[in-house]
Amino acid sequence: MATIIDGKAVAGALRKSLKAEIESLKAAGITPGLAVVLVGGDPASKVYVGSKEKACAELGMHSERYNLKEETAMGELLALIGKLSKDDKIHGILVQLPLPRHLDEKTVLEAIPAHKDVDAFHPENVGRIMIGDYRFLPCTPAGVMELILSTGVSIEGRECVVVGRSNIVGKPMAMLLLHKSGTVTVCHSKTKNLGEVTRRADILVAAVGRAKFITADMIKPGAVVIDVGMNRDENGKLCGDVDFESALPFAGYITPVPGGVGPMTIAMLMKNTVAAAKAAAKQL
């Protein structure tokens, strides 16, 4: 029977240490500040943005939320990013994705100055991740790394399989595991005999966005299974990419959904914002 990895507890410990760090920064006159921009009314995005705002408040950070209407023109969004870029109270700028279809994501992400890009989605930061010279770690993959670390299972020399190749999760995830000397395989929709590949994994990260896609027969007994998915099942209940109930007897460690990767992503965003504030203070 697998040990369930408690993402809330791991994130709680991280937030506690961040809170102490924020208090000492504030005593030195620096309050880390995050601006979150939401365009349109996507219900899931509203929930995520709300959680980010709440996390800032709990840690005593400054946060600003901008709700722009669905029809917002590119010029208007870029003008807001430009204004936030020059605002010294704001150390991190996050534009929630996905954007409405008429807005070009690439143009928007490139408009955020790399030193305020706490998502690490700007091409400069993506390039830094590739060569291991990080300014910010991308929040979700960084959170996954902390969860793996919490199990005490070492990554070095282990078979690591990432299912999913998105720019937000799959690709940077593979890179972080590689930097820890894992033997990394990235699977995707065109992968042949997926189960054969995933069954090799000592560490399996599922980031496909399909409810209960990874079933027990695809898991190596004793593996560390990290579920990045956030889906609704046939009854509308929140579930991950892994069929949790069936995987539980086989995995060595497994994250639940909710309460696994989600809280870590937010904690890592706070960590990046604090790092951005510290870097800005050094420039003064």
**Which residues are identified as catalytic?**
52, 96, 119
The kind and range of the H/E element at 27 are helix 7-27
Residue (140 or 198) nearer to ligand GUN, CB: 140
Residue with the two structure tokens 């604090």: 274
Task: Please list every residue from 111 through 130 that binds ligand GUN, using CB under 6 A.
Answer: 119
Binding flags for ligand GUN, 136-165, as an x/- string (CB under 6 A):
---xx-------------------------
269: left (phi over 0), alpha (psi -120 to 50) or beta: alpha
Q: Total number of residues binding ligand GUN (CB under 6 A)? A: 8
CB of 263 vs ligand GUN, minimal distance in Å:
13
Residue (8 or 46) nearer to ligand GUN, CB: 46
Stretch that binds ligand GUN, among 67-75, 88-96, 124-132, 159-167 (CB under 6 A): 88-96
Q: Which residue, 120, 112, 82, is CA-closest to 275?
A: 120
Interface pick for ligand GUN out of 96, 125, 255, 272 (rule CB under 6 A): 96
CB neighbour burial string for 202-220, b if at least 16 within 10 angstroms, e if fewer? bbbbbbbeebbbbebebbb
| Binding of residue 94 to ligand GUN (CB under 6 A) | yes
CB of 205 vs ligand GUN, minimal distance in Å:
15
Q: What is the DSSP string of 173-211?
A: HHHHHHHTT-EEEEE-TT-SSHHHHHTT-SEEEE-S--T
CB of 210 vs ligand GUN, minimal distance in Å:
16
Stretch that binds ligand GUN, among 91-99, 125-133, 175-183, 274-282 (CB under 6 A): 91-99
Residue (26 or 46) nearer to ligand GUN, CB: 46
CB of 101 vs ligand GUN, minimal distance in Å:
15
| Binding of residue 97 to ligand GUN (CB under 6 A) | yes
Task: Please list every residue from 215 through 274 that binds ligand GUN, using CB under 6 A.
Answer: none
Tell me, what amino acid is at 14?
Answer: L
Stretch that binds ligand GUN, among 95-103, 143-151, 174-182, 195-203 (CB under 6 A): 95-103
Residue (49 or 184) nearer to ligand GUN, CB: 49
Cβ atoms of residues 277 and 126 within 8 Å: no
CB of 174 vs ligand GUN, minimal distance in Å:
17
Coil, helix or strand at residue 253? strand
| Binding of residue 177 to ligand GUN (CB under 6 A) | no
Residue with the two structure tokens 């209407």: 69
| Binding of residue 204 to ligand GUN (CB under 6 A) | no
CB of 94 vs ligand GUN, minimal distance in Å:
5
What backbone torsions phi and psi does residue 68 show, to the nearest 5 degrees?
-100, 150
CB neighbour burial string for 88-111, b if at least 16 within 10 angstroms, e if fewer? eebbbbbbbbebeeebeeeebbbb
Q: What is the spatial distance between Cα 267 and Cα 143, in angstroms, rounded to a whole number?
A: 8
Other Cβ atoms within 10 Å of 199 Cβ, number = 17
Residues at the site binding ligand GUN, with contacts judged by CB under 6 A: 94-97, 119, 139-140, 168
